[in-house]
Amino acid sequence: MIIELYAAMAQAEIEKKEKHQREGIDAKKNRGEWDDYGCPAIMSQKEFLEHYEKVLSGELRPFELMKQLGIN
C-alpha cells in the first residue's frame, strides 16, 4: 500500500513537471522567442552548405567538417 502511494506521488510529480514544461514552451512561443530554444547553432545553414560542397569536391575531409560542427 505504501509503495502504491509513493508510485502515485511520483506520477503526480512527473505530470506536474511535464505540464510546467509545456506551459513554459508555449509561453516562449507566444513571446516570439522560440527560435533561440535549444542548442545554439555552430554555423549558419549557408556556411554549412559551403563547407559541405568542399567535402563533395574533396577540398575538405568529412571528419574535418564533423570536427568543426562538434560531432564525434
Question: What does the pLDDT read at residue 44?
Answer: 84
Asked whether residue 7 carries a pLDDT value surpassing 90, the answer given is yes
**pTM exceeds 0.75, yes or no:** no
DSSP string, the chain: -HHHHHHHHHHHHHHHHHHHHHHHHHHHHHHT-GGG-SSPPSS-HHHHHHHHHHHHHTSS-HHHHHHHHT--
**Interval 6-19 mean pLDDT:** 95
Residue 65: which pLDDT band, with cuts at 50, 70 and 90?
confident
